[in-house]
Amino acid sequence: MFARMHILETTPEVHDRGLELVDELLPWLRESAGFRGLLRLAAQDRLKTVVITFWADENAMNQTAESGKGIGALAAEAAGSKHIALEDYEVTFFDAELARSAERDSDRS
Which residue segments constitute the domains of the chain, with CATH numbers given? 2-108 (3.30.70.100)
Comparison of pLDDT for 12 and 5, the residue scoring more: 5
Give the Å distances, CA to CA, from 58 to 41, 48, 55, 68, 73: 23, 27, 7, 14, 21
Q: Rounded distance, CA 74 to CA 77, Å?
A: 5
Comparison of pLDDT for 7 and 68, the residue scoring more: 7
Model confidence, pTM: 0.77
pLDDT confidence of 91, banded at 50, 70, 90? very high
Burial (CB count within 10 angstroms: exposed 0-12, middle 13-18, buried 19+), residue 11: middle
